[in-house]
Chain A
Amino acid sequence: MATAVESSRELDDFEAVVRLYWLKVFRFALASLRDRHAAESLAQDCFFKAYKARHSFRGDASVATWLMQIAVNLVRDHARDRRLQFWKRAQLTAVDFDTAGRWIPDGGVSPEVSALAKEQVQAVWAATESLPERQRTVFLLRFVEDMDLLEIAAATGLKEGTVKAHLFRALQAVRERVGGAK
């Protein structure tokens, strides 16, 4: 893991930081908001805020975690901002995830297995949409961004135990949706 000094130095070349982490921030924003333009706008805001605050970065966490912390706050603000609720209703630029199945690699499996995999991925996607914002954020950070519990705690400002509780509830909901819960 990078030391505080190394993490701080990483910010010296901010252009490189943007190049390295833009997709990660955009992906989290897109999966959270499900709107391409809103996700792009959020990613730009995230890096703008990070650039302005780069001198106050102490390196307690990695640059990636710090950026995700900013992104999580922006997603939360976005969700709370009633003026932007029309995005949810109109879905004018919403990206169609119904075709998500086509991203599942066939890997030489039978058509039946491939169809089942696509169905389950879409079920997980639908389940995450109906999760409360905190649970969805924690779920996406864990199972899409592959962050560990401590990193998620740092990014969300929650205690590790609270992260576990949100993750547990999110998993229960997802498993009910995909048909795995007994």
Chain B
Amino acid sequence: MIEHLSAEQISQWMIGERTPQQERHVAECDECRTELRQLETTLQQFRGAVREWSDSAAPSAWRQPASRGLWYSWPRLVLAAATLLILVAIPVYWSARERQRAAESEAARADALLLERVDSAISQAVPEPMEPLVNLVTWNSSPAEKNNKLERR
């Protein structure tokens, strides 16, 4: 293992100048990794502070909207997503409900038709093939006709 990174090597590291040996060392050395992380954090905080400070010093016409941080916040995103979901879900729900109602109505009509056919079928006195014979017979014959038939026998 090589020695800890020197002050110069840390500065070189920050500008992207690093050797494979140094990278291996940093990967294994908590002390060097912590020092690099602290420097990176300080520089990031410096960047953030200068940006915020210059935003506040800029003429109002050029200033970033004050609420921009809130705009990108998670609660706002969740609220926006929920609103979008509701707006999309309502028409989809109504459409599905209409389809379901139409299907139910169709099924009811089909059931009614089937029952009608069943009623029709069970109301027949004789099977269908015998219907022509039935037509030849007068079921509602008068008593005189009945007597004639008996006399013929």
Interface residues of A (CB under 8 A from B): 22-23, 26-27, 30-31, 36, 39-40, 95, 97, 100-101, 103-105, 117, 120-121, 124-125, 140, 142-144, 146, 149, 164, 167-168, 171-172, 175, 178, 180-182
Give, as a whole number of angstroms, the nearest-CB distance from B63 to chain A: 8
Across the interface, do B11 and A171 meet the contact criterion of CB distance under 8 Å?
A: yes
Q: Is the interface of B mostly helix, strand, loop or mixed?
A: helix
Which residues from B are CB-within-8-Å of A178? 42
Across the interface, do B49 and A175 meet the contact criterion of CB distance under 8 Å?
A: no
Interface residues of B (CB under 8 A from A): 6-8, 10-12, 14-17, 35, 38-39, 41-43, 45-55, 57-59, 62-64
Q: Is the interface of A mostly helix, strand, loop or mixed?
A: helix
- Given A120-B42, A180-B38, A180-B39, the answer on whether A23 and B50 have CB atoms closer than 8 Å is no
Q: What CA separation (Å) do A10 and B35 show in the bound complex?
A: 42
Which residues from B are CB-within-8-Å of A120? 42, 45-46
A-B contact pairs, 20 of them (CB 8 A): A26-B54, A26-B58, A27-B50, A27-B54, A27-B55, A30-B54, A30-B57, A40-B59, A97-B53, A124-B43, A125-B46, A143-B43, A146-B47, A171-B15, A175-B7, A175-B10, A175-B39, A180-B7, A180-B42, A182-B6
Contact of A143 among B11, B47, B53, B64 (CB under 8 A): B47
Return the chain A residue nearest B6 by Cβ: A182
Give, as a whole number of angstroms, the nearest-CB distance from A128 to chain B: 8
Contact of B49 among A103, A164, A167 (CB under 8 A): A103
Across the interface, do B35 and A144 meet the contact criterion of CB distance under 8 Å?
A: no
Q: What CA separation (Å) do A168 and B9 show in the bound complex?
A: 10
Which residues from A are CB-within-8-Å of B16? 149
Across the interface, do B62 and A23 meet the contact criterion of CB distance under 8 Å?
A: yes
Across the interface, do A172 and B57 meet the contact criterion of CB distance under 8 Å?
A: no
Give, as a whole number of angstroms, the nearest-CB distance from B62 to chain A: 5
Contact of A27 among B35, B38, B51 (CB under 8 A): B51
- Given A95-B57, A182-B7, the answer on whether A104 and B48 have CB atoms closer than 8 Å is yes
Across the interface, do B45 and A168 meet the contact criterion of CB distance under 8 Å?
A: no
Across the interface, do B45 and A104 meet the contact criterion of CB distance under 8 Å?
A: yes
Which residues from B are CB-within-8-Å of A39? 57
Give, as a whole number of angstroms, the nearest-CB distance from A34 to chain B: 10
Across the interface, do B49 and A104 meet the contact criterion of CB distance under 8 Å?
A: yes
Give, as a whole number of angstroms, the nearest-CB distance from A62 to chain B: 20
Known: A103-B48, A124-B43. 12 other contacts (CB 8 A): A23-B55, A27-B50, A27-B55, A39-B57, A95-B53, A121-B45, A121-B46, A125-B50, A149-B16, A164-B15, A180-B35, A180-B39
Return the chain A residue nearest B41 by Cβ: A117
Across the interface, do B54 and A103 meet the contact criterion of CB distance under 8 Å?
A: no
Across the interface, do A26 and B62 meet the contact criterion of CB distance under 8 Å?
A: yes
